[in-house]
Structure 1
């Protein structure tokens, strides 16, 4: 993605039309409990187009669980979801958050504009396109089908997405969050952003630095090319993470053991994917196996599914069913994922350039077979993208990054680029662990305790490397 920075970018939060708009009304809370929680919800009305702050409004649905010890309350901890396109409404109830943090913070969640219980979007994609947000090349590396599909998805979004679709982008989500801050009556926000939410959090800290308190960025993407870079980095992340799966798959105590030696697991996987390329099975193709690998490397709990699919491909047995979200949820998530990344940055349109990139990637990173650099619907997107916000070191030193060493989606190499961009504003806790999501995600006491101490004290630690916990 092409990034453009205006010299006054750090003042964006002060000079945009949104700042001149009337402050939002206070939120009217109502019960919307999740089992076992005291969650309540409200609707925030925000401008559809911040260039017309008094024009049409759309809904952002928000939730909260008040601090359990009001006398010790510090403020709000906003939980920024990933995706793009993930729901965050029930995160105050469902995320594993330490009791001492729940005691001192109001936990606030939300569905971003376009998502779920907020004013949603849909591209009304056909069954063959719905959920197909990763452009896997053909078995021979050809991308002709991806070009056709990309054009078709872009056309469907333009036809069915409506006016809201044109205003789905990260800067607008950030402006919505500052409206939420005002509606909550808070001078500053603390927040925990996860995955894509780290980019949202970094942009908020750039556009509204004076309104940030304690910032946690968990599993951070490379800020240099934004969404284009995030997609490309899958080829690095999967390579980083695969050895964890290989060790598990060669463990003598594993009932799904695939090989006697971890070094044998990788060639076995590649051979099985190539076999499925030549002769697909009912319910499983070579690219289906590769996509299942990528998605199930996010947590160790996904390893058995990868192994079961490999065993089915090896032995010709029944293919296990992989869970899928409901159709309406998948339509919304697909539309949000495509729309956000296409509206956020300019994507190159040259088919020839993508063909060359795919061929090179397939050679260097065979586990992902060229997908991360392939052509997407963004190359045919009908709308002009926004200018990406360049992340800089201008602002308070209050950002704590936490990052697994072996993350399939947001690899450590990309997180280090965000750390460099933030400069002295940030510190980073690097955890010797695998998977996507670091804080309260993998049982690493060092990483978890470092982040929790920061949330409670507001004092940034030094850059820290946490060793693997026993059992990891």
Structure 2
């Protein structure tokens, strides 16, 4: 999950409107908007010949449906067996800020034949990203480095530099992002999803959302319950409407503690290769000691916070463990450190991530609030050194956030959550809150595994088969694998 977005609570005299909205959601009614453009004109995608691509037009501002419009890029791979077709399966990307146009090809290579037989796979670039109408904060080079993507405090815990960076990013996005910057949020993405459904001519759609896409999928299922078929939410965010993205960032501290023991056990079992310690506890101490040594004396190619960021990002997938062990080994011995990939399209990713986080929920405005929170987090969760509690551009966001959508049980019983027990980015404790919010509507497949992403990622047949059975036959129940 990417953090850099905010969303909000209502202000002023909106109580009557809120009550009407809650009542409408409860019965599956949503506010009318201008219809999407006529049926998409499909053509072979320039970058993925296996799939078709098209664009549709949607309102820039759903409160002004007849006003300016923007484009959404969508893609499709048709069902492999038309006579078994059930409908469409929308693949909702994470982030926020990740693109999704290539997902029918990327994920279609892994989906079971029984699923491919029954669904057209639909991908899309959410508003502001990729081939959809893009947004850009025009950040300066000093503010777009990968080291600043997560808000690591200084070695002594000071957040003065973080606060200055957050202010610069907020001002750049507000000043350079144009009107679209104010109209990127999760409820708006849900409305965009419904416009995709309309453009496809579908009465209902099924969906598979991952990471941040679980919250987007949950909001869609809450705002438009009557238009949902089978909903899969994979690696779930905590839907607490008072915190949202701020809570997700905070949860990195919990997720890091949940997941690090998997890496520590891996390295301890290979102490003769990496020399990081013969027990998981010794590996943990080695990591903390090396991070502190880099704080005191950074290498030309690696700082303490760069080291921490590499470690945290590497916990997302067990296949990264050998590389992580080599990084620790290189720092310990003074030898070379493997090159770490830099996320692509950081300008666009930061712009959409920031807009979503800051438009979704109100964030505290006091720098001291974050300084105090960082100090507590550094004490309670030393692995992440206070980063998950730190200040973000949303503390300086000049625009009023939207009214958050509270996830509720109102709607059909058609939501399946799938969740790893040891997810560094979206921890199990947050998934339990998503499960509770949906109530009777949902069931959850709990997978005894680590990493970010559960369905078709971990090689866990029990979990994979449970999700496949739901998509194919609609059968589901709470399951532990």
TM-score where L is the length of structure 2 = 0.93
Q: Pick closer, same or farther for the CA change 1:154–1:419 going to 2, 3 Å.
A: same
Q: Secondary structure at the match of 1:367?
A: helix
Q: Tell which deviates more after alignment, 151-160 or 257-266.
A: 257-266
Tell me by how many angstroms 1:61 deviates.
0.1
What do the CA deviations read for 1:324-357 (whole angstroms, capped 9, x no partner)? 244xx11111111111101111000111111111
Residue 134 (structure 1) aligned with residue 150 (structure 2): yes
What do the CA deviations read for 1:3-45 (whole angstroms, capped 9, x no partner)? 5693432625734241xx245311110001656x620000011
What do the CA deviations read for 1:186-245 (whole angstroms, capped 9, x no partner)? 000100000000000000011000000000000001011210110000000000000000
Q: Secondary structure at the match of 1:233?
A: helix
Residue 107 (structure 1) aligned with residue 158 (structure 2): no
Q: Secondary structure at the match of 1:287?
A: helix
Distance 1:295 1:359 in 2: 22
Tell me by how many angstroms 1:305 deviates.
2.5
Tell me by how many angstroms 1:323 deviates.
1.2
Contact 1:3 1:389 (C-alpha < 8 Å) held by counterparts: no
Contact 1:122 1:157 (C-alpha < 8 Å) held by counterparts: yes
Distance 1:399 1:446 in 2: 18
Q: Secondary structure at the match of 1:284?
A: coil
Residue 437 (structure 1) aligned with residue 449 (structure 2): no
Contact 1:46 1:176 (C-alpha < 8 Å) held by counterparts: yes
What do the CA deviations read for 1:344-401 (whole angstroms, capped 9, x no partner)? 1100011111111111100000000111111111000111111110111111110000
**Partner residue in 1 for 2:40:** 27
CA RMSD of aligned residues (A): 1.6
Contact 1:189 1:214 (C-alpha < 8 Å) held by counterparts: yes
**Partner residue in 2 for 1:265:** 283
Distance 1:10 1:337 in 2: 30
**Partner residue in 1 for 2:212:** 196
What do the CA deviations read for 1:252-302 (whole angstroms, capped 9, x no partner)? 387445221122110110000000011100121111111111111000112
Distance 1:452 1:10 in 2: 34
Contact 2:30 2:224 (C-alpha < 8 Å) held by counterparts: no
Q: Tell which deviates more after alignment, 130-139 or 379-388.
A: 130-139
TM-score where L is the length of structure 1 = 0.95
**Partner residue in 2 for 1:274:** 292
Distance 2:142 2:244 in 1: 27
Residue 70 (structure 1) aligned with residue 86 (structure 2): no
Q: Pick closer, same or farther for the CA change 1:381–1:154 going to 2, 3 Å.
A: same
**Partner residue in 2 for 1:14:** 29
Q: Pick closer, same or farther for the CA change 1:211–1:62 going to 2, 3 Å.
A: same
Residue 312 (structure 1) aligned with residue 324 (structure 2): no
Contact 1:66 1:106 (C-alpha < 8 Å) held by counterparts: yes
Q: Pick closer, same or farther for the CA change 1:355–1:114 going to 2, 3 Å.
A: same
Residue 226 (structure 1) aligned with residue 258 (structure 2): no
Contact 1:349 1:379 (C-alpha < 8 Å) held by counterparts: yes
Q: Secondary structure at the match of 1:139?
A: coil
The aligned runs of 1:284-433 (5 Å cut-off) are 284-326=302-344, 329-433=345-449
**Partner residue in 2 for 1:117:** 131
Contact 2:237 2:426 (C-alpha < 8 Å) held by counterparts: yes
**Partner residue in 2 for 1:470:** none
Q: Secondary structure at the match of 2:141?
A: coil
Distance 1:46 1:305 in 2: 43
- Structure 2: tracts of 5 or more residues without a match: 1-6
What do the CA deviations read for 1:430-450 (whole angstroms, capped 9, x no partner)? 000000000000100000000
**Partner residue in 2 for 1:251:** 269
Distance 1:373 1:80 in 2: 27
Contact 1:43 1:60 (C-alpha < 8 Å) held by counterparts: yes
- Structure 1: tracts of 5 or more residues without a match: 467-472
Distance 1:433 1:3 in 2: 35
Q: Tell which deviates more after alignment, 6-15 or 40-49.
A: 6-15
**Partner residue in 2 for 1:469:** none
Contact 1:11 1:208 (C-alpha < 8 Å) held by counterparts: no
Contact 2:9 2:401 (C-alpha < 8 Å) held by counterparts: no
Distance 1:182 1:422 in 2: 25
What do the CA deviations read for 1:29-67 (whole angstroms, capped 9, x no partner)? 0001656x6200000110000011111110100000000
The structure with higher relative contact order (CA 8 Å, sep 6+) is 2
Q: Secondary structure at the match of 2:336?
A: coil
Out of 102, 119, 122, the position equivalent to 1:90 is 102
Tell me by how many angstroms 1:133 deviates.
3.0
Out of 202, 226, 240, the position equivalent to 2:258 is 240
Question: May I ask how many residue pairs the two structures share in their alignment?
Answer: 460
Q: Secondary structure at the match of 2:29?
A: helix
Contact 1:24 1:182 (C-alpha < 8 Å) held by counterparts: no
Residue 465 (structure 1) aligned with residue 480 (structure 2): yes
**Partner residue in 2 for 1:41:** 53
Contact 1:3 1:390 (C-alpha < 8 Å) held by counterparts: no
Distance 2:354 2:143 in 1: 12
Q: Tell which deviates more after alignment, 49-58 or 398-407.
A: 49-58
Distance 2:296 2:9 in 1: 41
Distance 1:9 1:120 in 2: 32
Contact 1:10 1:209 (C-alpha < 8 Å) held by counterparts: no
Q: Secondary structure at the match of 1:215?
A: strand
